[in-house]
Structure 1
Amino acid sequence: MKRNAFSLLIILLTAAVVLLAYELWPTEDLNWAVTSFAMLFLGLGLFYLRFERAKVSSKEMALIASLAALAVVGRIIFAPFPNFKPTTYLILLAGFVFGPRAGFMVGSTVAVVSNMFFGQGPWTPWQMLAWGLVGATAGLYGRWRGESVRPLELAVFGAIWGFLFGWIMNCWVWLTTFFPLTFKTFLAANAASFWFDVSHASANVLFALLLTRSFLPILYRFRKKLTTTTLEVQHHVETKTG
């Protein structure tokens, strides 16, 4: 409870500072790219801090690393095809089966590790956030649908995230390259990436329809092996009195 209150306090203080800066500084002097970058690092830092303090087993850590590695390999292999990769689908599937925490960790880890091959930059934290949210929201969806989910449902979920991922990344482009920062220029940034977002969404749909029936049962079997159940044994002592 104390951790939640502390995290909420930090977030509220950060938001208050940003709002104060917006009110006191002229718009042309306020670097929103740097401000958003700082807020992004704060949010990611809080999550990783909570993850570090949580009781995470070595098996879960190994699982997160393995799933992240698989998604990274998928991004590298499909590098010649712009935005048409299985990465987002694999992150989605990991979160759906293993929960929001594992999903966020897989997504954010994929961004950092894969960019060692594609190049690190100020876009990396935005990718960490976007892919992390893919895994986290898929985890919440997985808690609701469970093993009864159909490939078409994950295809629709992936299609939505194909566009949402692009819009999140467009925020970085908009904040760093567009002026003035208006709703009109934000729409222009999203319009410029429309076909890339269509490619991303199409890849998620295709991989979901082709791979879900094969991958989902395998991951659920892994999850069952990782789950331990504690049984409480009660000893009843009977005493006889003569």
Structure 2
Amino acid sequence: MVILGVLVLTCIWQDAYLVLSFGLVVIVILFFFIRFETRKVEARELVILAVLASIAAVGRIPFASIPSVQPTTFVIMIAGFVFGAESGFIIGAVAALASNMVLGQGPWTPWQMVAWGLVGLTAGMLRNTRLMKWNWGRIVFGAVWGYLFGWIMNVWGFLALTQTGNPPTLASVFLYFAASASFDSMHAASNVFFLLVFGNIWIKILTRFKRKYGFLE
């Protein structure tokens, strides 16, 4: 819905692509942060969310030289699956913001916050479905998000490109998205790898912590 809203508004107001897109992104982020703040969350629960966000953020740094390959999406997805949609969104958004303090902040940061936030959000929303309870279903979910993440970031990149005065065309949109296909495939493949190797053990560990200490019930 966010991406659709951005595209519709940018078609109407063609002189303010980035203003409109960033406005929508900020609204989404504030909505979830405010909603999360209204919940009764104990200090110990905030600690576990902060730790998971830190792990997701730090996980990007060793893999920074390999485009699109990192365990960040995997950590956010598993966190959302275990602790719920809102917690998953917060972990994803904070992980993007925190990791960019090392890798570099920029106008792309809000989009990464939303994209990774949506990974955690959707993992939490679908956690009780047959798809996510099945190991291969989670793997398919991770592979799909490897591409969805890239497409969300492509929207930002294309909007930034149109600000330079290049009129958007259907062909330019297709070429722009096609150019990122290899990177998106690497992201999807890395998600599959981490889910295959570490997925079940991470779910068991985090679920044990959740049940033992009553985190975010």
- TM-score normalised by length of structure 1: 0.79
- Distance change (3 Å), C-alpha of 1:159 and 1:115: same
158, 183, 207: which one aligns with 2:194: 207
Give the aligned partner of residue 32 of structure 1.
Answer: 17
- Rounded to whole Å, the distance in 2 between the matches of 1:99 and 1:145 is 16
Give the aligned partner of residue 179 of structure 2.
Answer: 192
Contact 2:63–2:69 (CA<8 Å) still a contact in 1? yes
Contact 1:75–1:85 (CA<8 Å) still a contact in 2? yes
Q: Deviations over 1:108-157 (max 9, x none)?
A: 0000000001100100000000000000000012132499432x222111
AA matched with 2:192: V
Q: Deviations over 1:12-52 (max 9, x none)?
A: xxx7xx85x865x5x4xx22122111121122112212222
- Rounded to whole Å, the distance in 1 between the matches of 2:131 and 2:48 is 19
Contact 1:59–1:226 (CA<8 Å) still a contact in 2? no
AA matched with 2:200: R
Displacement after TM superposition at 1:165 (Å): 0.1
Give the aligned partner of residue 109 of structure 2.
Answer: 124
Contact 2:63–2:70 (CA<8 Å) still a contact in 1? yes
Give the aligned partner of residue 222 of structure 1.
Answer: 209
Give the aligned partner of residue 170 of structure 2.
Answer: 183
Give the aligned partner of residue 138 of structure 1.
Answer: 123
AA matched with 1:101: E
- TM-score normalised by length of structure 2: 0.88
Unmatched runs of 5 consecutive residues or more in structure 2: none
Unmatched runs of 5 consecutive residues or more in structure 1: 1-10, 229-242
- Rounded to whole Å, the distance in 1 between the matches of 2:173 and 2:16 is 16
Give the aligned partner of residue 163 of structure 1.
Answer: 147
Asked which structure has the greater RCO (Cα within 8 Å, sep 6+), the reply is: 2
AA matched with 1:200: H
The number of equivalent residue pairs is 207
Give the aligned partner of residue 84 of structure 2.
Answer: 99
Q: Deviations over 1:160-217 (max 9, x none)?
A: 0000000000000000114322333222211111110010000000110011122111
Give the aligned partner of residue 156 of structure 2.
Answer: 172
Contact 2:132–2:138 (CA<8 Å) still a contact in 1? no
Give the aligned partner of residue 5 of structure 1.
Answer: none
- Distance change (3 Å), C-alpha of 1:207 and 1:22: closer
**Is 1:80 matched up with 2:65?**
yes
4+ runs of 1 displaced by more than 4 Å? 145-148
- Rounded to whole Å, the distance in 2 between the matches of 1:223 and 1:72 is 21
Provide the secondary structure at the position in 1 that maps to 2:116: helix
- Distance change (3 Å), C-alpha of 1:145 and 1:60: farther
AA matched with 1:219: L
1:49-64 aligned at under 5 Å gives the runs 49-64=34-49
Larger Rg: 1
- Rounded to whole Å, the distance in 2 between the matches of 1:95 and 1:64 is 10
Provide the secondary structure at the position in 1 that maps to 2:186: helix
